[in-house]
């Protein structure tokens, strides 16, 4: 009991002493920590902005091949992507029926030849009999008509034989050029007609890409403008191309088609590969400063629906060396280039911009510069 009374008295004395101390001694002020700041020096300048458009490689020109005759196909051994040489046999028509047609045409020629010879001999005989007064002139005229008709029939039979022989030679479908099979449009042993599509080919190295742009962009493009293409399957590889077609009318609302043709495409490039097309546009100022995109204070869409050269507002934190604080500042940008934004107004060379952790900064916050 005595021990509890002593403990109570000790606690009460402690509280009384604390109550009598000055307020400044009882609690110490806690200062907010100064955040370290990573910055980028405003120095590098650019004169253009890149716009990127996704697309797919397509052959520049497709050629559909077919037979000039109709008939039953033999087995077809073609595959999409197969490389063929000029003059290589792509498909064949069964020539059994055509051989019968040639034999029939040859027999018809022989029959017409005999008939023409007999008609010519009969005409000669009738003309001789006319001189003797044995036959009338009407008989001679009839013999002359028969001879003329038989001669014409013989000529027609010879032409039919030539056609049959040509058809027999056309049973092989040959590749018109060195190329690659894009599609196989017929099946083995099917019966096809004249001109029916058998396969589609394209020349190796002849590729193009197409995409659509808005009105402002298409007006800044011209035939022959260079472009850079990057393969999605191999981002470290780039290809060169030029603008070869510009749509005069929109496919859809405010969407104008653009076609870019590749130059000197490597042999391992295939149709259907995904690519990213980069087009370069002059920025609407003498120069722009490149600032890492990580420095942007995200408060909305950077690009929005603006054209590639129309300035857009963006906010950054700029370091003030006199007060060792950061201040939020609105600048104008002309778009994005690689992983940087192009600032065309609102910054001066030599200033420093916060490049990391901007979401944790506030306007006027005290900071300490970190080493670059």
> What are the tens digits of pLDDT across the range 123-173?
888 888 888 888 888 888 888 899 899 889 988 988 888 887 877 777 889
Cα(117)–Cα(154) distance, integer angstroms: 10
Cα(328)–Cα(323) distance, integer angstroms: 14
- The fold of the 95-170 domain, in CATH, is Helix Hairpins (1.10.287)
Position 265 pLDDT exceeds 60? yes
Distances in whole angstroms, Cα of residue 365 to Cα of each of 39, 92, 190, 299, 369? 14, 81, 80, 19, 12
Cα(307)–Cα(332) distance, integer angstroms: 14
pLDDT reported for residue 27? 42
- Average pLDDT of the chain? 81
pLDDT reported for residue 45? 67
Contact call for residues 153 and 116 (beta carbons, < 8 A): yes
Strand partners, 243: 260
Query: With pLDDT > 90 as the criterion, what percentage of the chain qualifies?
Result: 20
Closest CA to 149 of 112, 108, 111: 112
Closest CA to 354 of 297, 306, 313: 297
Q: Which region among 37-41, 44-48, 180-184, 355-359 has the lowest average model confidence (pLDDT)?
A: 44-48
* Kind and range of the H or E run holding 345: strand 340-345
Cα(97)–Cα(101) distance, integer angstroms: 6
Position 184 confidence tier, pLDDT thresholds 50, 70, 90 = very high
Structure tokens at 306: 């603006």
User: Where in the sequence of the chain do the CATH 1.10.287 domains occur?
Assistant: 95-170
* Strands ordered across the beta sheet of 226-231: 48-56, 274-282, 226-231, 238-246, 256-263, 207-213, 58-59
C-alpha 214 chain-centroid distance:
17
Q: Which region among 22-31, 69-78, 193-202, 352-361 has the lowest average model confidence (pLDDT)?
A: 22-31
Exposure pattern of 115-146 as b/e (b: 16+ CB <10 Å)?
bbeebbebbeebeeebeeeebeeeebeebbeb
How many contiguous H segments (helices) and E segments (strands) does the chain have? 5, 24
- Of residues 287 and 258, more confidently modeled: 258
Q: How many CB atoms lie within 10 A of CB 285?
A: 16
| Helix, coil or strand: residue 240 | strand
What is the pTM for the complete model shown?
A: 0.51
Position 316 pLDDT exceeds 90? yes
Position 293 confidence tier, pLDDT thresholds 50, 70, 90 = confident
* Kind and range of the H or E run holding 262: strand 256-263
Contact call for residues 303 and 337 (beta carbons, < 8 A): no
Structure tokens at 81: 């992507």
pLDDT reported for residue 287? 66
Position 243 pLDDT exceeds 70? yes
Position 199 confidence tier, pLDDT thresholds 50, 70, 90 = very high
Position 28 pLDDT exceeds 80? no
User: 215 Cβ partners below 8 Å, 6+ apart?
Assistant: 250, 254, 256
Give the tens place of pLDDT for each residue, 74-129: 899 999 888 899 999 999 888 777 777 788 888 888 998 888 889 889 888 888 88
Structure tokens at 40: 């980028």
Structure tokens at 49: 């902005």
Structure tokens at 107: 């027999």
- The CATH code of domain 36-47+284-369 reads 2.40.420.20
Cα(159)–Cα(166) distance, integer angstroms: 11
* DSSP type of residue 214: -
Contact call for residues 153 and 115 (beta carbons, < 8 A): yes
Position 303 pLDDT exceeds 50? no
Position 305 pLDDT exceeds 70? no
Contact call for residues 205 and 57 (beta carbons, < 8 A): no
Residues 3-27: what's their mean pLDDT? 47
* DSSP type of residue 370: P
Closest CA to 285 of 318, 333, 330: 333
Position 285 pLDDT exceeds 70? no
pLDDT reported for residue 1? 46
Residue listed under structure tokens 């589609």: 200
Residues 278-307: what's their mean pLDDT? 70
User: Where in the sequence of the chain do the CATH 2.40.420.20 domains occur?
Assistant: 36-47+284-369
Residue 230 — left, alpha, or beta (φ > 0 → left; ψ -120 to 50 → alpha)? Answer: beta
């Amino acid at each position: 009991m005595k021990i509890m009374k002593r403990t109570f008295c000790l606690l009460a004395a402690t509280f009384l002493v604390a109550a009598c101390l000055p307020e400044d001694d009882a609690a110490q002020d806690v200062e907010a920590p100064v955040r370290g700041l990573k910055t980028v020096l405003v120095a590098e300048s650019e004169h253009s902005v890149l716009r990127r458009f996704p697309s797919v490689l397509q052959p520049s020109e497709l050629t559909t091949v077919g037979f000039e005759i109709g008939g039953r196909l033999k087995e077809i051994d073609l595959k999409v992507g197969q490389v063929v040489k000029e003059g290589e046999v792509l498909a064949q028509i069964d020539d059994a029926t055509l051989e019968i047609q040639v034999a029939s045409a040859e027999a018809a020629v022989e029959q017409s030849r005999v008939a023409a010879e007999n008609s010519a001999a009969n005409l000669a005989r009738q003309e001789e009999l006319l001189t003797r007064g044995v036959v009338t002139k009407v008989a001679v005229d009839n013999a002359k008509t028969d001879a003329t008709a038989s001669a014409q029939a013989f000529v027609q039979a010879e032409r039919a034989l030539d056609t049959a022989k040509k058809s027999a030679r056309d049973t092989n479908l040959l590749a018109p050029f060195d190329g690659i099979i894009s599609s196989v449009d017929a099946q083995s042993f099917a019966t096809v007609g004249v001109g029916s599509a058998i396969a589609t080919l394209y020349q190796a190295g002849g590729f193009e890409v197409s995409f659509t742009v808005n009105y402002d962009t298409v007006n800044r493009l011209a035939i022959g403008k260079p472009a850079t293409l990057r393969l999605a399957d191999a981002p470290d590889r780039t290809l060169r191309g030029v603008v070869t077609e510009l749509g005069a009318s929109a496919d859809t609302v405010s969407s104008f088609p653009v076609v870019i043709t590749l130059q000197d495409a490597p042999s391992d490039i295939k149709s259907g590969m995904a690519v990213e097309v980069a087009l370069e546009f002059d920025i609407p100022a003498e120069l722009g400063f490149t600032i890492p995109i990580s420095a942007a204070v995200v408060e909305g869409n950077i690009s929005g629906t603006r054209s590639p050269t129309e300035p857009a507002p963006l906010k950054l934190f700029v370091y003030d060396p006199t007060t060792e604080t950061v201040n939020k500042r609105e600048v104008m940008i002309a778009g994005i280039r690689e992983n940087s934004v192009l600032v065309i107004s609102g910054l001066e060379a030599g200033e420093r911009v916060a490049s990391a952790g901007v979401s944790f900064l506030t306007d006027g916050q005290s900071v300490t510069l970190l080493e670059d």
